[in-house]
Amino acid sequence: MRILLISWYFPPVNTIGSLRVGALARFLVGRGHDIGVVTGKNWGHPETLPLNIPLERLVYAKSLDVNAPPNFLQSALTGLTFRGNGSSTSAAAERAGLATAPSTAKKSVRRRVNEFYVHLTNLPDEEIGWLPWAYAACRRLCKTWQPDLVFASGPLFTALIVARLASTRLGVPWVAELRDRWADDPYDEPPRWRARLNQSLERSILQSCAGLVTVTEPWAEFYRRKYGKPVATIFNGYDPADFDTEEDTRVPSEHIVIGYAGSVYPGKRDPAPLFDALRLLGAQAERFRVVFCGTNPAHVKPLAARAGVLHLVEIRPPVPYKQSLEFQRQADVLLLMQWDDPREQGNCPGKLFEYLASLRPILILGLADGVPATIAHERKAGFCSTDPGKILTQLRAWLREKEEFGRISPLPAAAREGLSRDIQFEHLEGFLAQIVQRR
């Protein structure tokens, strides 16, 4: 197949979206497919992710910053900055430095103006300014090369709009990948008028696609009901080449290290239940260390201080992807945080599969019947709770194991069986082939 991939994120930028789409490109090239890629540039994230494949048709298209004009004007006049909202408009104020309640009516007005501008212009997201250049890149790329299929991965969901336009011009089907939810994202709490716009735009775009791809079966079933389209569930998976040994490489330590790499969402996905459990553990808590890598200290330290366990917490700066995987392998237990809300049921972070591949026990703080907890339970790979008392019991069990055997036992290799990216992408390859054949 000849496939045009469209995604704002792509290597070398180091994000989970880039990791998945870059791995898909490598897989498809390795299977003999002819691939073209249109992606963004100047992402604002570390660019440390290697692609490791030659791509003749790879275009990094520039983007117009729709937030630049008011940002320049307001910073010149008042020092206020406008920021795009990434995957959630509810986070706009926080990223714009407005997370705390304004102390004056003037600040409150500025904040409301900022949020209104973001909601009005960042539709579907802050990279809408990428649309004309990405579409132009698709047209240039396809002057001498005709794809059989257009495949777009979001967020950011501007990529899906680009794919629809390219599909219409080329007269070929397109497939939308929703690595996260768009209009139905519970982390996004915009005004009602913006929520209606989100639903309207999503429907107008996705009604034209030939099929949908998402990352868990609950989400797949949701989109089947919503759009009546074929939907494939493709887990994020892991790359076996990144975990080529089952040897336990942990450095011996008197402490039990609980590791976490990534972001924290205060009030939704945060380590507060673990910190409360450590407080209940009393003097035995000194045997534990909770190490965060690439996490905003402001989202962790206040919670740890409130529980009186700040001295047990270490926060390290972000590291390249390979070092992040090694950080996970050096931990005794890996921490996964989910929102304890029914709307989180189908959410499954990509790091779950890295954790399973690392063969480390997983402590899940979140929804007991969510997809991560279900997978961990089925594979006897972890423990899930938001109850500090129950977490306390599990911490004591790990402490007894450490005292008796000198380490926390790694998971059996069967815990990661069937979850490699190649196996997942084989399913996707078959799904895409069916779309092309139907045409």
Look-up: residue for tokens 């089907």? 173
Burial of 414 (0-12, 13-18, 19+ CB in 10 A): exposed
In 10 A of CB 155, how many CB atoms? 23
189-222 pLDDT tens trace: 899 999 999 999 999 999 999 999 999 999 999 9
Note whether 51 and 170 are same-domain residues.
Answer: yes
Can you point out the beta strands (E) in 228-372? Answer: 231-233, 256-261, 288-293, 313-316, 333-337, 362-365
Domain finish residue from 105, 121, 137: 121
Q: What is the CATH number of the domain that holds 355?
A: 3.40.50.2000
Closest CA to 36 of 133, 141, 134, 165: 141
Q: Which H or E run contains 360?
A: none
Note whether 349 and 266 are same-domain residues.
Answer: yes
Domain count of the chain?
3
List the domain range (segments joined by +) for residue 218.
2-64+126-237+421-438
Note whether 88 and 137 are same-domain residues.
Answer: no
Note whether 253 and 115 are same-domain residues.
Answer: no
HSE-CB at 162 with a 13 A cutoff on CA atoms is 35
Note whether 284 and 406 are same-domain residues.
Answer: yes
CA distance linking residue 356 with residue 246, whole number of Å: 12
Strand partners, 57: 36
Q: Please give the chain's pLDDT, 439 residues, in tens.
A: 999 999 999 999 988 899 999 999 999 999 999 999 999 999 988 898 888 888 889 999 999 999 887 665 566 555 555 445 444 444 433 333 333 344 445 557 777 888 888 899 999 999 999 999 999 999 999 999 999 999 999 999 999 999 999 999 999 999 999 999 999 999 888 999 999 999 999 999 999 999 999 999 999 999 999 999 999 999 999 999 888 766 667 777 889 999 999 889 888 999 999 999 999 999 999 999 999 999 999 999 999 999 999 999 999 998 888 899 999 999 999 999 999 999 999 999 999 999 999 999 999 999 999 999 999 999 999 999 999 999 999 999 999 999 999 899 999 999 999 999 999 999 999 999 999 998 7
**Is residue 405 a contact partner of residue 250, using CB atoms and an 8 Å limit?**
no
Instruction: Tell me if residue 97 falls in helix, strand or coil.
Output: coil
Note whether 74 and 47 are same-domain residues.
Answer: no
Note whether 226 and 332 are same-domain residues.
Answer: no
Domain finish residue from 121, 137, 159: 121
Note whether 289 and 304 are same-domain residues.
Answer: yes
Note whether 101 and 176 are same-domain residues.
Answer: no
For the entire predicted model, the pTM comes to 0.86
146-156 pLDDT tens trace: 999 999 999 99
Note whether 375 and 390 are same-domain residues.
Answer: yes
Domain finish residue from 121, 136, 158: 121
Q: What is the predicted pLDDT for the residue at 114?
A: 83
Greatest C-alpha distance within the chain: 70
Amino acid at residue number 241: A
Note whether 84 and 222 are same-domain residues.
Answer: no
Q: Report residue 257 as tokens.
A: 């290290």
Note whether 214 and 318 are same-domain residues.
Answer: no
